[in-house]
Structure 1
Amino acid sequence: MKKIALGLTTVALSLSAAISHAGDVEVLHYWTSGGEAASVEVLKQEMVSAGHNWRDFAVAGGGGESAMTVLKSRAIAGNPPTAAQIKGPTIQEWGDLGFLSNLDSVAKAGNWDSLLPDVVSNAMKYEGHYVAAPVNVHRVNWMWANPEVFKKAGASIPTTWEQFIVEAKKIKAAGFTPLAHGGQAWQDATLFESIAMAQGSKFYNDAFVELSEQTLRSDEMISVFDTFKQLRDLVDPGFSGRDWNIATSMVINGDAAIQIMGDWAKGEFTAAGKQPGIDYVCYPAPGTSGSFSFNIDFLAMFNVKEAGQQAAQQDLARLILEPKFQETFNLNKGSIPARLNMPRDQFDSCAHSSMDAFLASSSTGDLVPSMAHGMAANSMVQGAIYDVVTNFFNSPSMTSQEAVDKLARAIKASM
């Protein structure tokens, strides 16, 4: 009886310890499309299995603007979530305000310094300390195409923007929408970014990372706007306000030929049961085959007071870098793991191409941070670029020279 009592006491103590360390995690994110929702569900289940309670705070809007508005209001009210999907320079902004929690102990235990490329680990630190965990690496400069539409139109997959416009006219004449696009500022900027990348990585970095006024006012930038304006005639009349995943469905369903979008689009093809190389093909955006525009999704950890919440937060950060989650999440999402040396056998040809390009571009200087997705500049500069780019795309009368002048002035005013 004493042995039984002792055993029961031990179990009770173990359960008590487990319960005391369990906690709630409220995660603010904008993974709301089909493929994205399936991806975040993986993390939710991992946390539940670890004994924690997951409170999902999903805010729709592919570019994250709505989610950031909600996050700011919550933080100002003194009630931030446990974790939030933020990235790039925005992490530094929240760090400056003193909102972020130190994850160095988790990082040390998990050997993050060795598991992560420098470009990833540097972006998730504030003043040398880990404050966020990376769930993936996205390549933004992708072109997704429906080969059947090209076949019906007698068109070829373009490798330059000049060829893109020629082939798109054939597709339009055949009764299809050449370019599936959503008229939202971040989508306009994504398209614009891929055109700018075709001018070379030095041009891109000088313009959107260094914010060189000389580059912003250059003939090359005028050429970028010229090409961008030509694409306005290649979208359908109903593009205004369309969400990105609805544009992806146009390619999936054979209504449109091409979408220029990051590799999260692949998650929609996967969710629809489509196979790469058969139902769709993936290529770098025209003129950008040697470059990689990266967008990394992080969950930044915000300061929480309760011990249970802190324990849950540490578990959340730890689980994000575990091989199981990195593989399952990225297979659903369409991205590639942030963690190095992951097995590739479960990933498809598009992911293999992305992994190869990521490693190659990191050694050639062609790995560049996405301006459109908050990796290159702070939110003020990004917003200034958004305004000029989207206004130009929707203004029949604005010239490229005028747009270049507005861009340079807007960026200078926001610095």
Structure 2
Amino acid sequence: MHPHEFVAFVAAVMAVNALGVDLMLPALSDIGRELSVAQANHRQWVITVYMLGFGAGQLVYGPLADRYGRRPVLLATLAGFVGASVFAAGSATFAALLGARLLQGLMSASTRVLAVAIVRDGSSGRQMARTMSIAQMIFFIVPIMAPTVGQGLLAFGPWRFIFYALGAFAAAILAWTALRLPETLPAERRTPISLSALRGSYRLVLTNRFSIGYAVAASLTFGGIIAFVSSAQQIFVDEFGAGDRFTLLFAICAGAMGLASFANSRLVERLGTRLISQAAVLALVALSVVHVAVILLDAETLVSYIAFQALSMTCIGLCGSNFGAMAMEPVGRIAGTASSVQGFVTSIGAVLVGSAIGQSYAGTTLPLAVGYLCIGVAVLGLVLVIEQGQLFRARMTLR
């Protein structure tokens, strides 16, 4: 593949998961009404169950990809995602839909593991962070546009059309993979699946303080994204009465992450992953303190919420790809397995954090603002532990 096509391909693979989360946001109310979901907060499970499957599935695909290569695993799971999308579209009950969403998440888990592993096969460190930032910049266009696309699909048919559209997009990526993706893992670098090999790989990933530490840090910031996405429709529509403006307002907040990734791709090789990500964490803490104060003073408005949310998403966007690159740096020789373990930790942790914040929604933005403050403080403390009390170090010392 040409480098430009490669970046576009990685972004498209990552977009399967983004669409799986964001495309149906405008349809949550319709799903709740048709499938008799009594409590509004329970509609959030359409998002969180998917993310639960997404997190759990990642433990499987890394070892498979390290044994059989990246390409066959990606082909098989994309086909499975297409099937799960059709199943979701035909769901007659909320329980059946959640089952289909869990299966979708399990299948889409490969996209995260393999996107990182495929990039890591050919690059590392700041170069990897730059490639991932460019891919994520393109990828973040998806959550900006997805709710609008979902709203457009609802204009032509019921919410089930959204799941057929998801299946069609995955089928297109499946064809692109089959026709254009070469295998990036040479045969001589493949490792057999064995309990002893897995124990050794898991031990390396879970005991290296950079690997596990930055994976946990990424899980906390990712939890902030899940909290926002799962409660966005309730906040914008139910609390602030945004109505048809929901997709535009959501796009403003999500777009901030895209701009952050673009800025990171231009700056990371010059400033380094540490300077950028650690400054972003400090900014997130400061923003959250001010946001909580605004809410407690009863001064929160739709405009203030959008401003604080967009700025907070900018900070989170500056953390994500950098935390991921720093977590992968010491475990590149087992990139597939490492990506799966780190992805499991990141995703499951994010589901727990995001669900706790999202399910706390009670008609105000205070739980989200307090949740972001807790995330920022926790990540800052974790980074201090990882870096042994030193912020803004230029180089990693692997131990």
Report the TM-score, using the length of structure 2 for normalisation.
Answer: 0.26
Relative to its length, the structure with more helix (as a share) is 2
Relative to its length, the structure with more strand (as a share) is 1
Larger Rg: 1
Report the TM-score, using the length of structure 1 for normalisation.
Answer: 0.25
